Structure 1
């Protein structure tokens, strides 16, 4: 193979004339993630998802002491095209640094956005703003975080695999992969923290829904309790026995009306004192 540069990002079509192409084509990121040592270096693949739209980035790679070739199998994020020109002009060590710094910087940005989104959601829930599609939003966040978590766990496993094969890569490059192992591990922990925060948001939503239901039931109970004495009065004076003293009384109807209003007023005053209204 005629070496063009230490680090290269290309599509399968662009490297189809290389001796690496056949081996890279055998590695499909959609069904396999990890690293595999061969005589002349390390083959592997990994996938990432970017943002709430969960756009995929699938990459196969080859790494040895002299070069790092990234083959884009699928990139809807356009993430690596942004650094393609930069890595073509630098050495192996700096090229690896640019690529993984870009991936981790992008990951840090989307996790910060997710954290802000979850904090705002929790604030709205605590403030009593319960939307009908809130459960759906929480489920979507859970789905996205699960994808991110799987991506970074696989990326961490890949870097750990590379670090376990230091004899086939450059010493300076191995040092950088050791640094990125710690960075990816922290990113994985941050995503796990977001996952736990999502659980708290879900609990806050359940508590808010329960509180709202209790408040509604309290109103219904209070209204029912107020009208129970009126039901008794209506039942009592609706018997129409001939010996009832108020039956032929001139002010009997007015008396029952005033009594009913007085019962309602007394009940309202009582419930307000007990802070039930």
Structure 2
């Protein structure tokens, strides 16, 4: 089980966010994520907030071991070929530590505020499929190429999006839990087999909260290989993250 943290870049000055990322890496996290939003997720839309990809370029320099990425980039916010180039660049700056997270988006008002069209869920999933194809094509043509095959994380829960994860993802991120998680994981396995792909090639990922000694074994049983603890600004309390890291380390010693 890998343990990651999502540092929500809201309600805090950037130097506080940067220190939080450095502290998380010093604690021993496997990956550090931010999120691809333009405003805080709470009710205070006017609160402090920063854009994710320029921040990832800075994290590529200010961190040195943990993988980094956005959980997840909304495909409608950036031209897919440009996004591939951005990912390749951050991959080089970080020394091969980028995870490229992709999702269809869910905040219609946020897209409208920034002038992006926001279609129906079905339209957004189709757009995600086209974006994934273009991203993979562009990554294969860039000079210089990425330092490694950049892992692609796809956030998906519906059948159409799960099929895209089966085709393109190195990591599948789900918001499901319990039996719903197991059912969706079996669906992903079935789509992989239809496509001639080994389901074991795809790491399973979810957000997590609660006592890891109670929650962790159940997640492992259901196939989760990476959990992400969310911390919010401006305090960035790492108490829960420390417990998950202690549980991870206890299992591996």
Q: What TM-score, normalized by structure 1, do the two folds share?
A: 0.21
TM-score by length of 2: 0.22
